[in-house]
């Protein structure tokens, strides 16, 4: 049997004062041992003990994935240019744990890292065992290099929407539509008492706020330090809406601008006679055009094979595999690059006469065979994650999980 330490040597990828600062502040000591048969695909027991100066000791046990499964983490961590990783899949398959463990691994490998939850039902706080609520950047305690987390706050986003759509006591939508030359339409709607509806946050606001954050990542100096950004996405349906939103907004804005152009050309002669100003209308059109250009940038980012990758997370169950296959097909249609498939919660071969374990294991092997025969999934790098006997919570436990999955 061969043994290796769970604590990898410090990476020299990014040598910065930020890493040194975070290392000096790290108060957590972790001791662990991983044992495996190096040239076999058998499963063996591994354990890790974690100690904190202010916490009691506890033990996490799991079964390691086959040793030939390699996630290609060396490629993921290589280079200092910024890269985006989006982890998504069916609800309840362990997306948050995988995303958080990847973020911890990036930070411990020398990359200033940001992990972002775009799921309205956030779990990052639970995963890191730290309060990350509030919709602002929060430093995560423990990693050797800077690691920050952000949970997009839907309530805060709705309040910002209401504030942004109100102007001089009137509805912001009315002001905007008047600027587009459609004020008469809004007045007619006002007679129907639809003012509150106009100021109500629209469906898909959560996805829109996630897109807004992505634009901030691209443009704001506040986020320039991060070389790795990891997204813990919502379940499949929400994520597909998020990825298709830039195309939808681009097309919608284009139609609005064409409508405005037709209305403007029809009324320009009359307005020129009466000397009415068109500055407000032009400002509104310019803002829409700017938004359209930013949406194009986000769309290009989602499809950039050099800087973006979507990682599908699933479990070895027939329904989960089928949904993952459909997700892969949808991502291919959106031209979103996908290279890896994480199959989480895999059971070991039973060493006892446990009939339940044997049946469950047989069912999982059937699901794994489905992956090999699935035209959408078979060409992806397969990463097998272990089933552990406790919840993975806190940076030490996430480091433990990341060292198993992200090899």
pLDDT tens for 145-185 read 899 999 887 666 666 555 555 544 444 545 554 554 445 54
CB atoms near residue 8 (< 10 Å):
12
Residue 15 reports pLDDT greater than 70: no
Listed by start position, the domains of the chain span 73-164+205-243+300-405
- Relative to beta strand 338-346, strand 308-314 is parallel
Contacts of 167 (CB under 8 A, 6+ apart): 175
- Relative to beta strand 147-151, strand 138-139 is antiparallel
pLDDT of residue 201: 54
Residue 16 reports pLDDT greater than 80: no
> Could you tell me the fold of the domain covering 73-164+205-243+300-405?
Rossmann fold (3.40.50)
The strand pairing partners of 85, in sequence order, are: 230, 309
* Average pLDDT over every residue of 357-365: 92
For 145, counting Cβ atoms within 10 Å of its Cβ (0-12 exposed, 13-18 middle, 19+ buried), the class is buried
d(CA 105, CA 383): 16
Residue 114 reports pLDDT greater than 70: yes
Q: How confident is the model at residue 68 (pLDDT cuts 50, 70, 90)?
A: very low
3-class SS string, 199-250: CCCCCCHHHHHHHHHHHHHHHCHHHCCCCEEEEECCCHHHHHHHHHHHHHHH
Rounded alpha-carbon distances, angstroms, from residue 37 to 41, 45, 59: 8, 11, 22
Please list the active-site residues.
Answer: 119
- Residue in 137, 127, 149, 69 with CA at minimum distance from that of residue 399: 127
């Amino acid at each position: 049997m061969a043994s290796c330490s769970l604590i990898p040597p410090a990476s020299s990828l990014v040598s910065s004062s930020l890493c040194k600062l975070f290392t000096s502040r790290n108060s957590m000591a972790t001791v662990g041992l991983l044992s495996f048969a190096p040239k076999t695909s058998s499963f063996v027991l591994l354990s890790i003990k974690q100690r904190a100066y202010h916490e009691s000791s506890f033990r996490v046990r799991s079964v390691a994935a086959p040793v030939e499964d390699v996630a290609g983490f060396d490629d993921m961590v290589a280079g200092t240019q910024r890269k985006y990783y989006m982890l998504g899949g069916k609800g309840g398959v362990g997306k948050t744990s995988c995303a958080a463990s990847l973020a911890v691994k990036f930070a411990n490998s020398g990359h200033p890292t940001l992990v972002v939850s775009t799921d309205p039902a956030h779990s990052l706080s639970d995963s890191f065992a730290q309060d990350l609520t509030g919709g602002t950047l929060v430093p995560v305690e423990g990693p050797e290099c800077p690691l920050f987390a952000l949970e997009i706050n839907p309530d805060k986003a709705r309040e910002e929407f209401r504030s942004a759509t109100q102007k001089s006591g009137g509805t912001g939508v009315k002001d905007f539509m008047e600027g587009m030359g459609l004020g008469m339409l809004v007045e007619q709607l006002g007679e129907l008492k639809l003012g509150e509806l106009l100021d109500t946050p629209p469906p898909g606001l959560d996805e829109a706020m996630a897109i807004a954050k992505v634009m901030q990542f691209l443009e704001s100096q506040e986020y320039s330090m991060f070389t790795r950004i990891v997204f813990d996405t919502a379940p499949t349906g929400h994520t597909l809406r998020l990825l298709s939103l830039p195309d939808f907004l681009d097309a919608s804005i284009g139609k609005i601008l064409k409508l405005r152009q037709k209305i403007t050309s029809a009324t320009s002669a009359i307005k020129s006679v009466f000397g009415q100003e068109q500055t407000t209308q032009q400002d509104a059109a310019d803002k829409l055009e700017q938004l359209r250009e930013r949406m194009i940038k986000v769309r290009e980012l989602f499809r950039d094979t050099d800087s973006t990758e979507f990682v599908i997370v699933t479990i070895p169950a027939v329904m989960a595999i089928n949904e993952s296959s459909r997700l892969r097909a949808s991502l291919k249609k959106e031209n979103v690059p996908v290279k890896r498939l994480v199959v989480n919660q895999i059971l070991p071969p039973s060493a006892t006469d446990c009939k339940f374990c044997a049946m469950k294991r047989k069912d999982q092997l059937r699901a794994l065979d489905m992956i090999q025969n699935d035209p959408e999934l078979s060409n992806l790098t397969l990463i097998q994650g272990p089933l552990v006997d406790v919840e993975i919570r806190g940076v030490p436990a996430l480091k433990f999980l990341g060292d198993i999955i992200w090899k």
